[in-house]
């Protein structure tokens, strides 16, 4: 388990409280778990520039992985998190037996195909090794991106959590190497292609709009990241204020100027 060093103090404060419930006091700061980039950056912008005027206090708790933000939410150490899309949330619900509530979409981090060895997907060699995220939602998302770009075909009605078993044809004989999402940027030295989540691509200095051999399109995309809470907190006025700020014009302008196409504002 890797926890962002910047968050150690905040996390220690949370765990020191034992069974404290971050959602009990509606006048308390809203504790939100995030991944550092871009979620933490965006939320810090909101905290520093917009929250006070809206009467909202924010505590930002940063995690480097895709496990702990939902664990912290499940254990009520935070009231909301901001790092995941609906298919990922649904996989967590299925595995954990915990019901969550996706309150609103905020942005899309286009999943991209990257390589240090291949300059054109059409020239992908036979038997190429492809690193993909090892969580079901993002593995299926990766296979769909490869299918959309002609490297394979999926069976009709393949689920969003598609695996190799859902591949109908694999003409190049691609070999898949599932890895933790955070490891994917480093895997480019060892594989022919790596399908990398947008946040980890950005952290590694990659720009999906410029560096990816192929990247997702925002239109009709179900993978927008948004605010998630426990069902009993979806109408928390602090959560509603945060959503209003995150979907406002200031955040849109901030995202467009800072990320220049690496992060896209959700269209729905």
In terms of DSSP bridges, do strands 129-133 and 175-179 run parallel, antiparallel, or are they unpaired?
parallel
Region 82-99: mean pLDDT is 95
Task: Please say whether the beta carbons of 112 and 201 come within 8 A.
Answer: yes
What pLDDT score was predicted for residue 1?
36
Average pLDDT over residues 20-48: 88
Task: Please provide the size of the chain in residues.
Answer: 268
Q: CA-CA distance, 235 to 163, in Å (whole number)?
A: 36
pLDDT tens string 192-214: 999 999 999 999 999 888 999 99
Poorest-pLDDT segment among 7-11, 149-153, 182-186: 7-11
Helix (H, G, I), strand (E, B) or coil at 59: strand
- For the cut 70, the answer to whether the pLDDT of residue 262 exceeds it is yes
Q: Which of 125, 138, 266 is nearest to 201 (CA)?
A: 138
- Whether 7 shows a pLDDT value over 60: the answer reads no
Confidence of residue 143 (pLDDT cuts 50, 70, 90): very high
Task: Tell me the DSSP string of 117-159.
Answer: S-S-GGGPPTT-EEEEESSHHHHHHHHHHHHHTTS-EEPTT--
Q: Give the pLDDT confidence score for residue 221 in this predicted structure.
A: 86
Position 217 scores a pLDDT of 84
CA distance 150 to 144: 10
The reply to whether omega before 264 is within 30° of 0 (cis) is no
Whether 17 shows a pLDDT value over 60: the answer reads no
Domains in the chain: boundaries: 5-109+221-265, 112-215
Say yes or no: do domains 5-109+221-265 and 112-215 share a fold: yes
pLDDT band at residue 13 under the 50/70/90 scheme: very low
Q: Which range among 16-20, 40-44, 240-244 shows the weakest confidence by mean pLDDT?
A: 16-20
Domain 112-215 classified CATH 3.40.630.30?
no
pLDDT of 20:
53
Q: Are 128 and 192 in contact (CB under 8 A)?
A: yes
Average pLDDT over residues 63-81: 97
Instruction: Judge if the upstream peptide bond of residue 204 is cis by omega within 30 degrees of 0.
Output: no
The predicted model gives 76-90 an average pLDDT of 96
Task: Band the pLDDT of 11: cuts 50, 70, 90.
Answer: very low
pLDDT at 21: 65
What is the pLDDT of the chain when averaged over all its residues? Answer: 90
Q: What is the DSSP letter of 62?
A: E
HSE-up of 99 (CA within 13 Å, CB side)? 4
- Assigned architecture for domain 5-109+221-265: 3-Layer(aba) Sandwich (3.40)
What's residue 9's pLDDT? 37
- pLDDT class for 22, splitting at 50, 70, 90? low
User: What number is the average pLDDT over the span 135-155?
Assistant: 95
Q: Is the pLDDT of residue 122 over 90?
A: yes
The CA distance from 212 to 231, in Å, is 37
Please check the confidence at residue 2 and state whether its pLDDT lies above 60: no
């Amino acid at each position: 388990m890797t926890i962002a060093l910047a968050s150690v103090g905040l996390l220690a404060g949370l765990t020191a409280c034992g069974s404290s419930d971050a959602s009990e006091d509606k006048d308390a700061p809203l504790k939100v778990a995030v991944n550092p980039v871009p979620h933490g950056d965006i939320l810090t912008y909101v905290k520093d520039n917009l929250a006070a005027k809206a009467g909202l206090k924010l505590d930002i708790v940063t995690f480097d992985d895709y496990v702990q933000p939902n664990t912290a939410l499940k254990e009520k150490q935070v009231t909301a998190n901001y790092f995941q899309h609906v298919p990922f949330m649904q996989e967590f619900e299925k595995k954990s037996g915990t019901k969550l509530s996706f309150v609103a979409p905020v942005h899309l981090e286009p999943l991209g195909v990257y390589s240090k060895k291949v300059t054109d997907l059409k020239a992908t060699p036979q038997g190429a090794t492809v690193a993909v995220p090892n969580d079901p939602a993002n593995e299926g998302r990766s296979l769909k991106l490869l299918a959309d770009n002609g490297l394979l075909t999926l069976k009709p009605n393949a689920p969003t959590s598609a695996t190799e078993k859902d591949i109908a044809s694999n003409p190049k004989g691609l070999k898949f190497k599932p890895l933790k999402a955070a490891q994917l940027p480093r895997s480019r030295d060892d594989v022919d292609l790596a399908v990398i989540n947008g946040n980890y691509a950005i952290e590694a200095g990659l720009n999906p709009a410029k560096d990816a051999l192929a990247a997702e399109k925002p239109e009709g995309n179900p993978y927008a990241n948004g605010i998630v809470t426990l069902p009993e907190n979806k109408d928390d006025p602090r959560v509603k204020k945060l959503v209003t700020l995150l979907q406002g014009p200031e955040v849109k302008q901030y995202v467009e100027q800072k990320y220049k196409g690496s992060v896209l504002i959700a269209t729905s």
